[in-house]
Structure 1
Amino acid sequence: MADLSQEQWKAQLEADENAFILDVRTEEEVAEGYIPNAKNINIFKGQAFIYELEALDKNKNYYVYCKAGGRSGQACSIMNQLGFENAYNLVGGFQEWTGEKTQ
């Protein structure tokens, strides 16, 4: 897992042709806005969260975010334990995101 600043995360994401954006917030938080092309899997779903992660392609590079960066950091750690090699946590989360957003 790597913690990336807002600028690092955005720059690396834009240059990555194998990127997958993962939003681990609740459905209510997602309804307030999200980063375009993100897939939402709520980390609070417990074992169902693990099952949904295990269905993903482990060869992709995952750019993970939540509201402030805490839950996405946990998600990246879980992903690493499941065999995902490239999981990047957005430090500061969506609340500090200055890039493109969808409402």
Structure 2
Amino acid sequence: MDLSQNEWWEQAQQDENAVILDVRTEDEWNRGIIPGAINIDIYKGQGFIYQVEELDKDKNYYVYCAAGARSGQACNIMNGLGFKNTYNLAGGISRWSGPVTMP
């Protein structure tokens, strides 16, 4: 499900089961992240699926990338793997006006 920046951030902050997932590359990750994020690079293909399969499917995943396309794809993959709640950050971190920190 695509959420606007405000909805995505507010919901993540109020959600005790929230996991913020960055699906960008390591180089992109190293330029700055949304606080609290974990990184699993969707470009790793099968490696992405293996790592995602190790996550707790009962948590709620707030997923982002640079512009929103890869994170939307990641949400679809995760939903197909049995994750119930995945939320895509519309516009990605490139349009993000919230906090950014260094990993």
Q: For the superposition of Structure 1 and Structure 2, which TM-score range results when normalised by the shorter chain?
A: over 0.9
Could you say which residue in structure 1 is the equivalent of 2:14? 15
How far the C-alpha of 1:100 sits from its partner, in A, is 1.2
Amino acid at match of 1:17: E
Unaligned residue ranges in structure 2 (runs of 5+): none
Query: Equivalent residue of 1:51, what SS?
Result: helix
Moved more, 92-101 or 72-81: 92-101
TM-score (norm 2): 0.97
Query: Equivalent residue of 2:34, what SS?
Result: coil
How far the C-alpha of 1:98 sits from its partner, in A, is 1.1
Amino acid at match of 2:38: K
Unaligned residue ranges in structure 1 (runs of 5+): none
Q: Distance in 1 between matches of 2:47 and 2:21?
A: 15
Amino acid at match of 2:57: K
Q: Distance in 1 between matches of 2:79 and 2:30?
A: 28
Could you say which residue in structure 1 is the equivalent of 2:83? 84
How far the C-alpha of 1:11 sits from its partner, in A, is 1.0
Residue-pair matches, total = 102
Q: Distance in 1 between matches of 2:72 and 2:7?
A: 16
Could you say which residue in structure 1 is the equivalent of 2:72? 73
How far the C-alpha of 1:59 sits from its partner, in A, is 0.3
Identity of aligned residues (%): 64
Q: Please give the root-mean-square deviation of Cα atoms over the aligned residues, in Å.
A: 0.6
Could you say which residue in structure 2 is the equivalent of 1:62? 61
Residues 64-88 of structure 1: per-residue CA shift (max 9 Å, x gap): 0000000000000000000000000
Q: Which runs of 4+ in 1 moved over 4 A?
A: none
Query: Equivalent residue of 2:88, what SS?
Result: strand
How far the C-alpha of 1:14 sits from its partner, in A, is 1.1
